[in-house]
Structure formats: C-alpha cells, structure tokens
Amino acid sequence: MSHPFEKLHPVNQRKLFIFLLILTILIMLIMNMVGMTLYTAEAPSGIISFELAYSPGRTQEIINSWSSAAQLRAAFIQGLDFLFPLVYSVMFGLGSIMAAGVFRIRGNPFARWGVTLAWGLGLAALCDYIENIALITLLFGRVVPPYPEIAGVCAVIKFTVILIGSIYMLFGLVMRILPQRSTKAAT
C-alpha cells in the first residue's frame, strides 16, 4: 500500500509540512481565543466538553451554561472547524510519511506504519466532519439522540488517531535527530 504524499520530493514534503504546521497552530490559536468564553462549570474543557457530552441531558446543560454570545462563538468555531480537519489531517499524514522515511532509513520496523497512519488521519478528518455536523445540529436546538452520541464517538476516534499520529511523528523526529548507531563492532 502506498500514499500520494510519498510521491512528493523530500524537500517539498518538508516545505509543505512546515507551512501546514504553522497553519494548524494558527487555526488552533484562533479557535482557542474565540472559545475562551466556553469554559464554564458545566463545560470545564470548553468546546471539548461539548464534543464529548454523549447525552442530550449533558449537552443541554453545557449549551445552557453558555450565554448567547458564547453560543455564537461555539457556532463560529464549528464553522472554522470545517477548514481545520483538512489542514491538520494533511499535516499529520505528511508528517507520518516523513517519519516512516526516517524509520525506513534506520531499518526500524515502525516504518511500515507510516502509510497506514497517513490514511488513518484521513479517517480522523472524516470523523471530525461528521462530529461537526452533529454539533451544529445540537447548537441549532435539536438536542436529541443520536447527535450527542455521534459527536462523542467521532471525537474519540479523531482524538485517538491524532494522538497516535503525533506520537509516531515525534518518535520519527527523535530518530532523525539522534545519531545513528554503527552496526559494526568496535575493534
């Protein structure tokens, strides 16, 4: 199995990765600044609490804890979150391919997981889009099953794949930075 990112020249991979990393961080900062008013006693993790509410009752408690202005901010975040999955999934997918290249050069068996992770990050983005649709439906007042449950399950899948991708990329970065051990025995 291969991935289209493997066809990019390594220099272009790095340039695109850095651009997408900066864009990912920028979008995250904007979403965090906009979402500051979403932290309440009922939503101690702000929009994340809303994503992981799982039940209509809990979801309604969170929405009720937000002012009208805060609810508008939550809706804005959901709108911005229609761009974000495309950016972060390509960034993490490309990073996984780049890490796999490092592992391959080092003869590390983790190399074979890079392509799978890159495709998996597409799944994370798809889950994020489904989650966003469910959350928007909830914000529009349809706080009924299965929308909170769909949002919660999709959020868990998304966060899990992103976490695994992050760890894989960081491990690849560490492998790239560390000097390669010589396989020849010292004489």
pLDDT at residue number 179: 81
Residue 182: pLDDT band (50, 70, 90) is low
| Nearest-angstrom CA–CA distance, 68 and 38 | 11
- Summarize pLDDT for 34-46 with one digit per residue, the tens: 999 999 999 999 9
Kindly report the pTM of this predicted structure: 0.91
Cα-to-chain-centroid distance, residue 27: 12
Q: Which of 66-70, 108-112, 156-160 has the lowest mean pLDDT?
A: 108-112
Question: Do 157 and 124 meet the contact criterion of CB atoms below 8 Å apart?
Answer: yes
Q: What is the mean pLDDT of residues 134-148?
A: 97
pLDDT at residue number 184: 55
Percent of the chain at pLDDT above 70? 96
Cα-to-chain-centroid distance, residue 180: 31
Question: Do 96 and 121 meet the contact criterion of CB atoms below 8 Å apart?
Answer: yes
Asked whether the predicted pLDDT for residue 187 surpasses 70, the reply is no
Which positions ≥6 away from 112 have C-beta within 8 Å?
100
